[in-house]
Every structure is written in C-alpha cells, then in structure tokens.
A and B are shown apart, each in its own frame.
Chain A
Amino acid sequence: MAISNITAIIKRELYTYFNSPVAYVFIVIFLGLTGFFTFMINNFFEMNESTLGGFFQWHPWLYLFLVPAAGMHLWADERRLGTLELFFTMPVTYAQAITAKFLAAWLFIAIALVLTFPMVITVSYLGNPDYGVIACGYIGSILLAGSYLAISGMTSAITRSQVVSFIISVVICLFLILAGWPPVTDLLVNWAPVQLVDIVSAFSVMPHFANIQRGVVDLRDIVYFLSIILFCLMTTGIILKNHAAG
C-alpha cells in the first residue's frame, strides 16, 4: 500500500511536470547554462584536460536558482488550488506524501542531469578521463540538488505563494553556499565564540561538494547531504501538520 501510494504520487507529479512548460524550460535552461559556463567561461578546450571539473564546478550556483524554481510549487500550489484538502483526505500518510513529492522532483532533476551525457561523450572522445571521478561528480551533483530541493520543498510548505517560496529557499541555499566563505565568517569572527563560527562554516555545502568532486566519496559528506534532506523533509511534515491544526 505504501509503495503503491508513493508510486501513484510520483507518477502524478511527473505527469504534471511534463504536461506543463516548466519541465522543458527548466531542462533547456539547465543544459544551455551548463554548456555556456563550461565552454565559454571555463574555456574547456583550452584547459587541455580531460576532466569534467569545470562542468561540475558551476552546479552549486546553477542549482541555486534552478532547483528552487523546480521545487517552489510542491506544496504552495496544492495550497493555492485547494487540492491539499483533497490530497490529505485520501488514504495517504504525511510521510508517504512528502517522500513521494520529493522523490518525484528529485527524479525530474536527475533526468535533466542525465541529459548532460554529451559532456561525458565529449571528454571521452577527446581524451582518457577518469570515469570514477566523473561518476563521483554526478553523485555529488545529485546529492547537492536533493539538498536544495528538500529546502525549497520546505519553504514551499510555508506559503501559498510560489514566489515567496522561491525567494526564501534561494536565500537559505545561498547561505549554505557562502557559510564557510571568509567574508561571511568575518562577520562573526570578531564577536562570536569560535565554536559558533566553526558551526556556521560547517554548514557550508562547498567543502562537502568539493570533496566528492575530487573523487573522494567520504561517508561524512554523504551523511551531510542526506541529513539536510532528512531534516528538511521532517520539517516539511511538521509545517504541514501545524497548518492543518490551524
């Protein structure tokens, strides 16, 4: 029952993605921008290296805007249309509903990511890349997207406005990118205890993402991303339940 509920919801969500322009706009812009950054800004060909480092390097910044755009509707739209009432009077639990919606959106981003396969073909045609590092790059990228997505799913549950959801989640994701960056830690360093500065900089996605990009799959990095996802999904549940309780 649980699995069939989850698959039914995932099917419905994907159906909605691909039945609206959102999916196509997202995919085209994602592919266009990754191509632009990799080839035009990083000068992929002149680097004379058969790696995809220059390609993955931009993902935290691209996802910063694209993932909240793909996740902002998740609950806000259900609230706006009133379908939340329909949805939660069907025999599904909060956990099933939240997991299924998250997985559907994650799957959608994964599809967009898979469509970057010409990059892999290009490097393997031009040289002898380390496929292990490339695989790690994709794993890191999809985990990063999942974390951002869980955040935007959570902000989407707060409001019925997709715009508000989008802006709040961009800000939270931006914080996660910048948390370890000196200008941000400098804000704290003069007055806050060292532990707090450490905690804030430990929140940053960048070092974890960079580790995986180098081809080092450390359990701590995986746990970092998965715990962001889990925390946000559980918070989403609390928000939705509180909303229902009035």
Chain B
Amino acid sequence: MIKVENLYKWFGNKLVVDDISFEVTKGEILGFIGPNGAGKSTTMRIITGFIPASKGKVTVGGFDIETNPVKAKSLMGYLPENAPLYANMTVYGFLNFAAEIRGFSGAEKKKKIEHAITTCFLNPVMHQSVDTLSKGYRHRTCLAQSIIHDPDVLIMDEPTDGLDPNQKREIRNLIKSMSEKKAIILSTHILEEVDAVCSRVLIIDKGKKIFDGSAAQMKDKSENAGTFTLEFAEGNAAEIIERLKLIDGVSRSEADANAKGTVVIKVTTSKQADKTEVRRKIFEVVKNQGLPLTQIKVEEGRLDEVFYAMTRGNAA
C-alpha cells in the first residue's frame, strides 16, 4: 500500500531524511521509533504529502504523492503530532467538515460521522467546543477525523502521546482492531507500545534507517536474548555448571552470586543454537541427574537495551 523509495530531505543544508526506503502492506502495523529529531515526523509528513521530498519517491495505493497528490491523499488518514484541531468548532462540526472534505454528503455523511464518534468514544463530548476538550478527547477527535472515511492507509504521529494509561490502552486496542484491513504507520517513543501493537519495527536515527524487522527480531539483537535462568532448591553450583557446559549450544553458564539459599545459574546460548532444542536438553540433564529444579526463566531480550545500543550517543 505504501512504498517509500530512497527518500531524502534537506532543510537548508541539514540532511534530515537520509536514503530511507521501505514498504508497508495491508494488515501490517509499522512502528517508527528513533530518538527525538531522528526524522520520524518529517518522513511521515512527506508520506502524507504535507511537505515535498528533496529526492525520492512515495506512492500510496499506487498513486505518487508528488504527481497525483489528491488521489493519494484521499486514500490516507493522518493524525499529526499534538492532534491539531480548529478552535471555535464543536466536535460534531469538525467531523462534519472532515466528512464533507472526504466527499460524503447526506445520510451517508451522517452515518460516517456517527460511526467515527462511536469508534473513538466521543459521544459524551460531541456537541462540545473543541477548545474545552481535555487532551485525551482532543486526541480522539483528531483520530476520528483520520478514520472517518475508512482509509486504506493510516498514518499516526505519536497517537498515544500525553494520554493516561487507560486511554493509551483504548487507543492501542482501537489501532489493533483496525489493522486487518489497513496499512498503518505509527511513530512512538514508547517501546512497550511497539511490542504490544506493531507487527514490524523501523528504527530511524539521524535520518537513516538502522533497523527493519519484527519486535522479536529486535529483541534477539539484545545480549540477554536467549539467556535462561535456572533456580535449584539445593546442589553444588560448580558441578551443575560443568554439566550444563557439556550441552551443545550452551556458550556460557555461571552462578548468580546474589542468590540466597538457592542455587541460581544463568545459561547463555550461542547465537546460532536452536533455543528450544537447548532448553529440551537442559531439561534432560536436570531429569537424569535428579536435580531439584524449582524455576526456569527465559530472557527475551529487552527492546530498550537494543534501542540504546543502536542509537547510543546519537540523541539530539
């Protein structure tokens, strides 16, 4: 649905977007992450046609945003950063404008507005002036205008910024529920959101794409990814470590000196090893030796560690 090819953007002589290419298909939720000033918002603004690219090509649903902007824009819904809204309008009046500009009229328009209001839980404020809304409602009103025409492509710049935890949850569920029939791009600073919502992650730093893959793949890059922690009620730590080291695929095993009363051993697997196979073998050893295993914990790797490692020292 969205195709971005070799995108560049200069502001003056500052390069803000540096050769970014990617594609998003229907059913995908692509998460943009990166330090402040990395070029996330600029990239989104180019895709939505608000600012022109210096070089490169963006097509939405096959329509080039430079040469066929109206067609491309009509396929898109956009929630800009900070959810801007027209003052002096009621929520209903604003959505009425959004529906009319998207080409709806009469009974169909009314249906679209009502659907957007229900979807974004705006019923209690629909006749209230936009000026008087709380931040959560403002965000949802702006979100409502972006989905009013049920677009194939949805682009959201920090959709949950400034919302309380419950509102964040609602918005995330809403985004997930819409993802089946749409191609969605969202940017965020919240790494857990990437994990909870996005099917793919794109890390941008200093205008460059430095990672493109799933959240799980990103976690795998973590040093801790694939580490097991085994806890035994009792036993000789050194002896257990020796045993575990014999297993194929185990690169390191060491005792946790901080453990109190129990024996805690951390096992690191080598990168190439099949982790499930390694785990199965560990269980075999435990069974054969009759070791009193009380707990096993698998470290997934942490997104923030990977993010930090990738973008370290580059925060603007």
Contacts and interface: CB of A to CB of B under 8 A. Distances in A.
Given A8-B100, A11-B97, A81-B84, A91 B70 contact: yes
B306 to A, nearest CB: 32
Interface stretch (B101-109, B112-120, B284-292): B101-109
A81 B85 CA distance: 7
A185 interface: no
Contacts of B69: 93
A244 B82 CA distance: 18
Main SS class of interface, A: helix
Chain A, interface size: which category? 20 to 34
Given A8-B97, A89-B50, A89-B76, A83 B102 contact: no
A19 B93 CA distance: 11
Given A8-B100, A12-B86, A19-B89, A82 B80 contact: yes
Contacts of B136: none
B50 A15 contact: no
Interface in B72-111: 73-74, 76, 78, 80, 82, 84-89, 93, 97-98, 100-103, 105
B284 to A, nearest CB: 59
Interface string A1-25: 1001101110110011001100000
Interface of A: 1, 4-5, 7-9, 11-12, 15-16, 19-20, 77, 81-83, 85-86, 88-93, 244-246
Contacts of B71: 91
Interface of B: 9, 11-12, 45, 48-52, 69-71, 73-74, 76, 78, 80, 82, 84-89, 93, 97-98, 100-103, 105, 142, 145
A11 B49 contact: no
B105 A244 contact: no
B41 to A, nearest CB: 10
B97 A244 contact: no
Nearest to A2: B70
A16 B73 contact: no
B101 A92 contact: yes
7 contacts: A4-B103, A5-B101, A81-B84, A85-B84, A89-B78, A89-B80, A90-B73
Nearest to B77: A89
**Among B71, B86, B89, B102, which residue has the most Cβ atoms of chain A within 10 A?**
B86
Contact of B49 (A82, A86, A89): A89
Contacts of A9: 101
Contacts of A12: 86, 89, 97
B74 A91 contact: yes
B276 to A, nearest CB: 46
B73 A245 contact: no
Contacts of A92: 70, 101
B87 A81 contact: yes
B101 A82 contact: no
Contacts of B102: 90-91
Contacts of B85: 81, 83, 86
Contacts of B11: 246
Given A82-B82, A246-B51, A89 B88 contact: no
A85 B45 contact: yes
Contact of B70 (A8, A19, A81, A93): A93
Contacts of B89: 12, 15-16, 19
A11 B100 contact: yes
